Amino acid sequence: MASIKSPINKKMSELRITEIFHSLQGEASSAGWPTVFIRLTGCPLRCVYCDTEYAFQGGEIISLQKIMAQVKDYACDYICVTGGEPLAQKECLSLLTVLCDEMYYVSLETSGAMDIAEVDPRAQIVMDLKAPGSKEESKNRFENLEFLKPSDIIKFVLNDKIDYEWAKTIIDQHNLYNVCELLFSPVYENLKPRDLAQWILDDKLQVRFQMQLHKVLWGDTPGR
């Protein structure tokens, strides 16, 4: 007999939030769309190129009810739940479900180091696989691959040619072309975008090249 989930109490559920802001989505399939970002505090990883270290600690405890009220004020259809590592907070699952119930287009940015089995299937998962250059390769949870949907995205953030070759190997080992869309992104100001683009073309990879649109527009400005 299937288990019945308890109803979510918006007044009782709370999350530690670093920031909620309105900007253009800079990555993945909804790049360019005005989006409300809900950045949760905390992350168990320490990637060497992380650009959101300010979200590792601090933040403010906010009820799910108040979060939803803030989101509604932006009058925006696209919502991105990000971090830090949002799934490090258990109530992130409730947040995703409530957002989906309200008929938003919801995406979750996750490191791939946390279990995604219970993520609401209506939310799009954008999952990193950590390359060697991140220094967190050992945290990859490859068991997550079986829970990904065709509408989800696997992202490789690449620091150099070693990372690029590693990504090609992982794609072949796990037959990732048959899982979901694959994105290759250069580490900002480390790997030249033109070099990565040329490698992809030379090897005839069926992956999507992307740059972080928000970095092109605003650099490393937090909350953009």
Asked whether residue 200 is assigned to any structural domain, the reply reads yes
pTM for the model: 0.90
Confidence of residue 2 (pLDDT cuts 50, 70, 90): very low
Asked whether residue 2 is assigned to any structural domain, the reply reads no
**Over the stretch 33-84, which tens digit does the pLDDT of each residue have?**
999 999 999 999 999 999 899 999 999 999 999 999 999 999 999 999 999 9
Collapsing DSSP states into helix, strand and coil, what is residue 191? coil
Q: How high is the pLDDT of residue 163? A: 98
Asked whether residue 157 is assigned to any structural domain, the reply reads yes
Confidence of residue 218 (pLDDT cuts 50, 70, 90): low
* Non-local CB neighbours of 189 within 8 Å, separated by 6+ positions: none
Asked whether residue 4 is assigned to any structural domain, the reply reads no
**Over the stretch 170-199, which tens digit does the pLDDT of each residue have?**
999 999 999 999 999 999 888 999 999 999
* Non-local CB neighbours of 164 within 8 Å, separated by 6+ positions: 158, 184, 196, 199
Q: Which residue has the higher pLDDT, 137 or 216?
A: 137
Distance between CA atoms of 153 and 128, rounded to whole angstroms? Answer: 9
Asked whether residue 6 is assigned to any structural domain, the reply reads no
Distance between CA atoms of 145 and 153, rounded to whole angstroms? Answer: 11
Distance between CA atoms of 224 and 222, rounded to whole angstroms? Answer: 6
> What CATH number is associated with residue 74?
3.20.20.70
Structural domain count of the chain: 1
Asked whether residue 126 is assigned to any structural domain, the reply reads yes
Among the residue ranges 10-19, 155-164, 182-191, 193-202, the one predicted with the least confidence is 10-19
Asked whether residue 223 is assigned to any structural domain, the reply reads no
Q: Which domain holds residue 126?
A: 14-218
Asked whether residue 51 is assigned to any structural domain, the reply reads yes
